[in-house]
Structure 1
Amino acid sequence: MASGYEARRLANIKRNEALVKDLGLQNEIITRNQAGQKPKTSKQHAAKRRKVHSSQPTRTSARIAALPNIYGDDSEDELALSEHKPSKSPPSKRKHKSVAGSESDDSNARPSPGQDVDSLMANWSSWKPTAPPPTRDVEGNYHFESHPVFTPNKSPEDIIREGSFGGSYWRPLYSSRLRTTVSEDWRELPASWTSGLDVSKYLTNEIYNPEINKYGVACGQSIEEWELAGWIAHEYDVRGWFQWYCRFWLGRRCADDDRQVGRWKKCVGETGRWRRTLLKKYVQTGIRSVTDEGDDEGEEREGDVSPVVHQTCHHWAWEVRQEALDRFWAEGK
């Protein structure tokens, strides 16, 4: 129940504020939280799309080789794509690189000394907004005063309402690092973002359903796999990129912002790999308009551009707009 969650959250905040003060961590948390639409209708039914098949990667990495490669390409670690379906059980013990890049073992990968799990979790919900809402330019790109290079064109609400992460992003999540299950944190989202939505279908479904996604396909890796690979900064966002984006949009600023913006830039920024991959596919298939794909009936046609890459870019808060496609046709960038 929402009331139970809110009461527990407030109690945690009070209890852990005292704990943080006693442990001398108050200044550290303050530093971490440095300064820095109306509801839309539910998504349209995704069109039926072809499945994309790719060859296996040529690069070798014991850690990455151990993870399911959804795309079968030679992506860099930081370019791992959007979360896929949840694992059936917690990841097994294995070595992996932490966010900072040092190798560690899951059995010892716990919160840093002085920060117990309760205080860590309390910090997730005790931040206050310190930055203004983004502005939007004529092409539909959002601009954030604190990070000028971060220019997504999809808001968190867009991503939720249009269909993403198989409807399972906010499901109860077992963290192998924290040794606890995180749930109900979707309730911190503004009510307007989820108003009218079937929460159990669009947010907390424990079974990944690709039909929920805007492009009707599954893509990426699970949050558990992101955690295992070391891409989760637990002191800020236990669910990773999209949770970070929701909080960043709402005005939170933290020490993980530059890393997350950097990952976005590598994926779908001006020269981002998946952005360029998608635009190149438009050119290769001779499509000059973003409205040229498929027909109103949602049937397949030879010129359809990869729905998997489309869905990936959508998860990273970017979609092809006509202006970007025109520039790519004209300048190749």
Structure 2
Amino acid sequence: MAESKDFGVRRLENIKRNGALLESLGVNEQAKAIHDSRPIEPAKKKRKIEKTKLNLPPSRASARIASASSRPIYDEDVLTHAIVTTKQTKSTSSKKGTSASKTKLEETRDIRPEIPTKDLGELQASWTSWTPTAPPPTRDEEGVFHFPSHPDFTPNKSPEEVLREGCFGGSYFRPLYSKKLSITISNDWEELPPSWTTNLNVPTYLTSPSYEPEMNKFHVTCGQSIEEWEAAGWINHDFDVRGWFQWYCRFFMGRRCADDERQVGRWRKCVGRTGRWRRMLLKKYVSAGVREVVDDGAEDGQEEVSPVMHQTCHHWAFMVTQEVLDEYWRTGK
């Protein structure tokens, strides 16, 4: 019990120290600038303004949600079964005992040790004992972030924007029991810069015990649970027990670690310039003949283009913008 108490004290001291470092590096100041300086555009036909969700409930009910499974699942990796299962079943190989879906599953697995390389006490301490070493990213006129240490990593959503707009059914930072570690991880959202969560309804948007699709930006369920990814061996406990998005939060705050190349590589394969989900979503726009970016489909009469794919990309800190869609219509890339 004393050891657990000591760890809690050390954790709070580490969070406080990191907060001071983030302040000195300008991360908090830049986050506030990003939040305060986003332009408010006049509404246009078939195009909606992106909205930052705070304590407000969803503006509409969805027939799609009413018919969907209530099973709590969370998007955490490239294998979003809600999208690929049907598509891959059609391409099943005629050869006995083989299938295209099985091949794709094997191709996209991360091969890694299934257990951490540190003892539990050292491991827990390492999650908060890191210090920021990189400057805040810059953001260009099209909203794309640029990190000097990783020029090929170019998301266009900050962690704060992903959280405020609605992601992971409001449950990403819920208390999480790790079967690999035999402990429950909780309250780690507190390490986020205060500006990211100011006026945000934490129990609704971060720590909800149940997955609520209507809390997502596109009001749909997608992906698998963190527990399922842990069971598959795809969580690197040495760094981020909750997976890719937790890595992104810490990377954005200035942490650099040995897992960065792997995580940036996963992002590129999912939503980078030639990423799988990005290309599939843009192809759907073209095949549907839609030239205007669809937001969350709340506007009456607006045609929806794969809300599940949109939500998946959003979880990976990427949103289709009008510039991206226009370029794809022109070049197919």
Aligned counterpart in structure 2 of residue 70 of structure 1, from 78, 82, 86: 82
The equivalent residue for 1:325 is 325
The equivalent residue for 1:42 is 53
The equivalent residue for 2:307 is 307
**Aligned residue type for 2:53:** S
How many angstroms does 1:48 deviate by?
5.4
SS in 1 for 2:227: helix
> Aligned equivalents of 1:292 and 1:183: distance in 2?
32
Q: C-alpha deviations, 1:15-71, integer Å up to 9, x for none?
A: xxxxxxxxxxxxxxxxxxxxxx32474257366567499xxxxxxxxxxxxx99333
**Aligned residue type for 1:313:** C
| 1:245–1:277 Cα change, 3 Å | same
**Aligned residue type for 1:220:** G
Q: Is 1:192 aligned to 2:195, yes or no? A: yes
TM (normalized to structure 1)? 0.73
> Aligned equivalents of 1:118 and 1:13: distance in 2?
16
TM (normalized to structure 2)? 0.73
Q: Is 1:240 aligned to 2:243, yes or no? A: yes
How many angstroms does 1:237 deviate by?
0.1
Q: How many residues align?
A: 267
> Aligned equivalents of 1:304 and 1:260: distance in 2?
30
> Aligned equivalents of 2:130 and 2:218: distance in 1?
34
> Aligned equivalents of 2:162 and 2:107: distance in 1?
19
Q: C-alpha deviations, 1:81-104, integer Å up to 9, x for none?
A: xxxxxxxxxxxxxxxx8x5446xx
> Aligned equivalents of 1:264 and 1:5: distance in 2?
37
For the 8 Å contact 2:217–2:296, the answer to whether it is kept is no
**Aligned residue type for 2:164:** R
For the 8 Å contact 2:294–2:305, the answer to whether it is kept is no
| 1:256–1:11 Cα change, 3 Å | closer
| 1:217–1:11 Cα change, 3 Å | closer
For the 8 Å contact 1:13–1:126, the answer to whether it is kept is no
How many angstroms does 1:320 deviate by?
0.5
> Aligned equivalents of 1:254 and 1:70: distance in 2?
32
Structure 1 segment 181-260 matched on structure 2, within 5 A: 181-260=184-263
How many angstroms does 1:208 deviate by?
0.3
> Aligned equivalents of 1:50 and 1:280: distance in 2?
25
Structure 1 unaligned spans of 5+:
15-36, 54-66, 81-96, 103-108
> Aligned equivalents of 2:171 and 2:261: distance in 1?
26
The equivalent residue for 1:274 is 277
> Aligned equivalents of 2:60 and 2:231: distance in 1?
33
- Over the residues paired in the alignment, what is the CA RMSD in angstroms? 3.0
For the 8 Å contact 2:178–2:227, the answer to whether it is kept is yes
> Aligned equivalents of 1:70 and 1:254: distance in 2?
32
For the 8 Å contact 1:293–1:305, the answer to whether it is kept is no
Structure 2 unaligned spans of 5+:
15-30, 37-51, 68-78, 89-100
> Aligned equivalents of 2:148 and 2:332: distance in 1?
28
Structure 1 segment 104-183 matched on structure 2, within 5 A: 109-112=114-117, 115-183=118-186
The equivalent residue for 1:286 is 289
> Aligned equivalents of 2:221 and 2:107: distance in 1?
17
| 1:272–1:129 Cα change, 3 Å | same
How many angstroms does 1:129 deviate by?
0.5
For the 8 Å contact 1:215–1:310, the answer to whether it is kept is yes
> Aligned equivalents of 1:198 and 1:5: distance in 2?
28
> Aligned equivalents of 2:256 and 2:287: distance in 1?
40
SS in 1 for 2:310: helix
> Aligned equivalents of 1:216 and 1:239: distance in 2?
22
Q: C-alpha deviations, 1:245-270, integer Å up to 9, x for none?
A: 00000000001000000000000000
> Aligned equivalents of 1:293 and 1:239: distance in 2?
26
> Aligned equivalents of 1:119 and 1:266: distance in 2?
32
Q: C-alpha deviations, 1:279-305, integer Å up to 9, x for none?
A: 1111111111215884xx63464x310
For the 8 Å contact 1:12–1:118, the answer to whether it is kept is no
| 1:11–1:205 Cα change, 3 Å | closer
SS in 2 for 1:70: helix
> Aligned equivalents of 1:320 and 1:143: distance in 2?
17
The equivalent residue for 1:30 is none
